[in-house]
Chain A
Amino acid sequence: KQEVTQIPAALSVPEGENLVLNCSFTDSAIYNLQWFRQDPGKGLTSLLLIQSSQREQTSGRLNASLDKSSGRSTLYIAASQPGDSATYLCAVRGGSYNTDKLIFGTGTRLQVFP
């Protein structure tokens, strides 16, 4: 059964710092991996989708990498801002016994203070 873990569960950093959020998964036979952002009391906003054949994806100050063989993905946020404060979720699709359903991690709650 695919399991997705995100470490750390919470992170607090000063504005301007570059930071890395981690996501690991137990079954490397995935189709793709998606990073989301969730603001308190809101739905999820898709940030980046990485296909299994890709190594990384970039959008603005965000860069997500994927190492399928080791079961890891990282989300790199450059020059963090208070507006980046949110919970970040990763989700994987696929795995040996899981077809097209997304399996979510429990998220990293990020606070960026001025």
Chain B
Amino acid sequence: DAGITQSPRHKVTETGTPVTLRCHQTENHRYMYWYRQDPGHGLRLIHYSYGVKDTDKGEVSDGYSVSRSKTEDFLLTLESATSSQTSVYFCAISGSSRDTQYFGPGTRLTVL
């Protein structure tokens, strides 16, 4: 398995609080991605990064921000969590933009 970890694996928080999810890789891959998975919607891209400090928006980026200060870490921040952001969040990595993507184990986030 590709060396990808996500933390925390589970989190329950309240509406209006900030939340940061972390993705850590040991593969030295250039590309990193954040997705959310919801019933009936499949996986949707939130943000992605194509290098240190280089990020771009995905399909559902509103209410989320990201940062990548090191190759191995990609952080996803919910600035003010809402109940609509209750979801399972997956991080993925790839060596290039068209390579196979490898996924982390996911973080289940519940916003009350």
User: Chain A residues in contact with chain B, CB under 8 A?
Assistant: 31-32, 34, 36, 41-46, 49, 89, 91, 93, 99-102, 104-107
The reply to whether B103 and A105 contact each other, CB–CB distance below 8 Å, is no
Give the chain A neighbours of B43 by CB distance below 8 A.
44, 89, 91, 102, 104
Picked from A43, A46, A89, the residue with its CB within 8 Å of the CB of B100 is: A46
B45 touching A102 by the CB < 8 A rule? yes
Judged by DSSP, the binding face of B is loop
Residue of B nearest to A106 (CB): B42
Cα of A107 to Cα of B37 in the assembled complex, Å? 12
Residues 12-55 of chain B, each 1 if its beta carbon lies under 8 Å from chain A, else 0 = 00000000000000000000000000001111110010000000
The A interface is mostly helix, strand or loop, or mixed, namely: strand
